[in-house]
Structure 1
Amino acid sequence: MTGKTLVHPDGRTVTLLDSGTDDQGDYLLVQHTIVKQGPMNGPHWHPVLQETFTVQEGLMRFVINGEETIIEQGGQARILPTQIHQFCNVSTDRLVALHEIRPPGQHWNMFELVHKLECEGKLNNKGIPSNPLWLGAAWRVMDGYLAGPPRILQTAVLGGLARLADLLKYRV
């Protein structure tokens, strides 16, 4: 599967560069190429995952636990477990960034699901699945929680939708 590229309708891509295990454990390495300015996700956090972004081209804005920073070419941002984070493309042109996820969890499945839903026109203008069952399926593979709503509420509501989506075979 290494080398697989997901091409979104707006031209952005996610390419699986590598995955495996090294002396630091299991990892996933992807490259994002983003062609439009703006947010790449909403504020969220992961209980276990650590993410490291290396900007190869352009500028990327991060808000991590309320602190904003701009990373330019060659710079890195590291997000530790439980840190609330969001990132945006603030480049005048395209953004190219390496994204390392440790452990990888379901992240590649998340990228594939978002790609599928977007290509099929099943996301609203904010990139959120319109169908609640697809929302549950997406929540399951994000390996984390949205900032704001209590974790227990997300687990009950979105986790319930995820279980129902699973039963009804809502998958990539």
Structure 2
Amino acid sequence: MAAEAVLAEAGYAGFTIEQVARRAGAGKPTIYRWWSGKPALLIEIYARQPLDLSGTDTGSLEGDLVAALGRLLAFWRDTPAGEAFTALLVEAQHDHAALEMLRAFLAERSFPLAELFDRAARRGELATDFDLAAGLDLVSGYVWARLLTRRLEDDSRSLSSAARLIARGCLRR
């Protein structure tokens, strides 16, 4: 995909519809016919990458979080998804339409992480007042901070610590 190549080569600063059209050998109107703008192209790049969180059922919320966080950070580090999502987060800070697209996209894509909490609920691990939205925000805040500060390395000690802290706030007492 031309947009993916432009993002990889030029980064967010050089990612323009003009550059994507040039790379694709098409005119800007052709690009706009299929995508409404940069945010839509960034979402397309991200969505084309397969995030696989299968096999993250370790028997505990904390273990599941460690496994899933490690996979998610590797996904962002090893595929174009990390650069695309970072660019989308930046774009959403300046463009209301991009923010709305991001919110809609996240609403569709939260299932893999929500499944971790669903499994924990089925195991009876979660507090009776557990709030799924708040739990997802805790996980998202942690991984987004790592993404935006380019700390995507496989740091199992840090991941284990974060998972333990997040899980402790969610578990039954």
TM-score scaled by structure 2? 0.31
Of structures 1 and 2, the larger Rg is shown by 2
Structure with the largest fraction of helix: 2
Structure with the largest fraction of strand: 1
TM-score scaled by structure 1? 0.31
